[in-house]
Structure 1
Amino acid sequence: MPNKKKITLQTIADQLGLTVHTVSKALRGLPGMSEETRSEVIGLAGRLGYRTKEQERGMAVERIPIYSSKPRRFAFIVPHEGLVVIHQKLYEGVQSRLAAFGHKLEMLFAPPDQGSEAAFDDWADTNGLHYTDGLFLTPMIAAKIEEQLLRLPVTKILLNYPPPAAQVDSLIWDVSSAVHQSVRYLLDRGHRRILYIGDIRLHRGFRLRWQAFQEAMNSAGLSAEEDRHLTRAGSKEWYTAMLSDLLIREKPTAILSGLEQDLAWVYYGCSLLGRHIPSDYSLIGLEHAPNAHLPDLTRPELPIKEVGVRGADRMLWRLSNPNLPYEHIRLQGGFHRGSTVLEAPAE
């Protein structure tokens, strides 16, 4: 890789077969190219460690060190149960940003939450957590383990919604705004009977989705009582029966699927009744990434990788500013107007 101090716009242009003018416009967010080209330019610039003068001025204002006298070591903690799409995208974001500064990132699986305090301490010691420069804590870590991680005397960035009064900086994609975007989009197309589907108890972010749905519906003068929506997890048989009952009883014209793992069940439940999406039910899904099986699903765009990138910046900022107040940051994405939402039928 070329020396970062010698990376220029011409370096990036030569590697991508573009003009310097196009590269400059891409990095400054100006129009005149496809989003694919812009993404390629930004991605390569990040990997090579190139920063525009505007980016360096912004980092200086935020007191984020651009150069470090030594490489730092960070740990990226994921749930004991394993990785899902959000963890992979977050890791890519954090890793790409830290690598541009010459730092290292190690992924670690959290211990199971059935263990004792001593077992947690042994795990932390074995993985040298006390000697890292900082920890990135991801969503879906068991509450008990997250609490123990937050007590460690190491700088931490929570890539999740913070628990009440947490003494930690946090970054997350804004699911509340995503739900409001979704409900507004359905209302604008005449839908008044909207069925919410998604467990609201397992994680903080799941509860926030439901609360945002209630707020959005109430703002439109519509009720959102829990017993009229599918807000619990259960066995395949129970789930299918509950979904069928709600579709028949509530007669929704649209469905908002708050969790991506429920989409397959939505399609299955509709098929059992001989009904289809979008001809019988319009559908919006809160997907963490484009669905290969439903590429044109109507959905809010969740900036997960961008949260990882900003999380890395926040970590470096916190290390340089240890005494400033904690900050909780939410990133809002756009909205993909796909083919799974139609105008509501006339009543």
Structure 2
Amino acid sequence: MRKKKDITLQKIADELQLTIHTVSKALRGMPGMSEGTRKQIFETALRLGYKTKDQELSVGYEKLPLLSTKRRRFTMILSHDAPFYQIQFLGIQERIQEWGHSLTGSFLPYLSRDQSEIDRWIDSLDLQYYDGLFIPPIYSEQLERTLLQLPLPKVLINFPPPLANVDSVIWDVSTAVHQSVNHFFSMGHRKILYIGDIYKQRGFRLRWTAFRDAMRQIGVAAEPHQHLTDSSVPYEQWLEELKKKLADGDFTAILCGVRQDLPSIIYTLQSIGLSIPKDISIINVEDLANERFPHQSRPLLLMKEAGRRAAERLLWRIANPAEPYEHIRLQGTFYEGNTVRRISE
């Protein structure tokens, strides 16, 4: 077997007929190449026994089973093929492939609340043949509870429910909401309209709680009836209520707490002749690209990074099954774009 000191970036580059620069970028997780090339570089480095300094430290501190010759198979539950899930999936996949393992997606069809239907769907996935499971945010808490009870290693990419015996990794939306309110306040805004469901998911409820706390800190009380927080009403009714709140002129800014509401908000603003940020300022809490407003002011949620950390955590759990469960929140920064206008007090 070759000694580790004999394996250099040049040897990997020569074997693949690539430049040292490309090999180095791939092993450091940097962009600038196809995923096929990146995968080929990782596989060659793993076969030759080359490890970066970060990987060596990871093995030492986290006791990750990186050097195991067994190729592990993992799956992630996907509600649908949307950017929100794609970003997380990519983060997991990149980290998993670095260590020679594989990841597949298990797509979630529409399921009723019939537990037998949920059980049949889970049985159809043959989850017992996987080495581990990634569970992102899904609307059905009943389904989530069932998945959490499965006897295989798993990581929840979400805020954990009470009493859940599972490791979790998630981007810190509570801090993101505080960052958003603080930015509004620093630009002179105190009349902030919160738009977004606060009931369907734990993450949604946490955003609303954070909003109330942040508003309280700037001396403003916030109650659900003052804002647009219930998505269970008919869509036309929701739109009319939004138009009324905007037309009343009490609000100078909007905090969009749920990404799906942003197109409707923009459409409504246009329909009543309000422009961003001249007439009203806006921050979108969920950090996903928007073609109309590529420079929207927003907190930077670490979705892809959460996927990478979830991959690390699941391998750590496999190597350390008796250790206590841990819940990891990743805090991002705030991007001061061009959708918040400074106003006078």
Same fold (TM > 0.5) = yes
Aligned counterparts, 1:168-247, within 5 A: 168-233=166-231, 234-247=233-246
- What residue number does 2:96 align with? 98
Is contact 1:86-1:288 (8 Å) kept? no
Q: Percentage identity across aligned positions?
A: 41
Q: Which segment drifts farther, 54-63 or 318-327?
A: 54-63
- Letter paired with 2:72: R
Counterpart of 2:64? 64
Q: In the aligned structure 2, how far is the partner of 1:199 from the partner of 1:273?
A: 23
- In 1, the alpha carbon distance for the partners of 2:238 and 2:81 equals 25
1:270 CA displacement: 1.8
Q: Which residue number corresponds to residue 312 of structure 1? A: 311
User: TM-score of the superposition, structure 2-length normalised?
Assistant: 0.86
- Name the CA shift for 1:19/1:45 in 2 (closer, same or farther; >3 Å): closer
* CA deviation profile, 1:180-234 (whole Å, cap 9, x unmatched): 1111111111111111111111111111111111111111111111111111113
Instruction: Look up the match of 1:75.
Output: 75
Q: How many residues align?
A: 329
**Structure 1 residues 217 and 250, CA gap change in structure 2 (3 angstroms):** farther
SS of alignment partner, residue 240 of structure 1? helix
Q: CA deviation at 1:316?
A: 0.2
Give 1:38 deviation, angstroms: 5.4
Once the two structures are TM-superposed, the CA of residue 7 in structure 1 deviates from its matched residue by 5.8
Paired residues for 1:1-347 under 5 Å: 6=7, 8=9, 15=18, 18=21, 27=28, 39-40=31-32, 48-49=41-42, 51-79=51-79, 82-110=80-108, 112-114=110-112, 116-233=114-231, 234-249=233-248, 251-344=250-343, 346=344
Contact 2:75 2:103 (8 Å CA) reproduced: yes
* TM-aligned CA distance change 1:185 to 1:198, over 3 Å: same
Q: Is there any run of 5+ residues in structure 2 with no aligned partner, and where?
A: 46-50
The one-letter amino acid of 1:67's match is L
Aligned partners of 2:10 and 2:20 also within 8 Å: no
Q: TM-score, normalised on structure 1? A: 0.86
Q: From the superposition, tell whether residues 103 and 223 of structure 1 become closer, same or farther in structure 2 (CA, over 3 Å).
A: same
Distance in 1, matches of 2:244 and 2:269, equals 11
Deviation string 1:73-96 (CA, Å, 9 cap, x unpaired) is 1121122xx232111111111111
- Name which of structure 1's ranges 237-246 and 312-321 shifts more when overlaid on structure 2: 237-246
User: AA paired with 1:321?
Assistant: N
Q: Aligned AA for 2:260?
A: Q
Distance 1:266 1:116 in 2: 35
Deviation at 1:246?
Answer: 1.3
The alignment's C-alpha RMSD in Å is 2.8
Residues 1:149 and 1:194: Cα distance change in structure 2 (over 3 Å): same
- Paired letter, 2:59: M
Q: Structure 1: where are the runs of 5+ without partners?
A: 28-36
Distance 1:9 1:218, change over 3 A: farther
Partner of 1:34: none
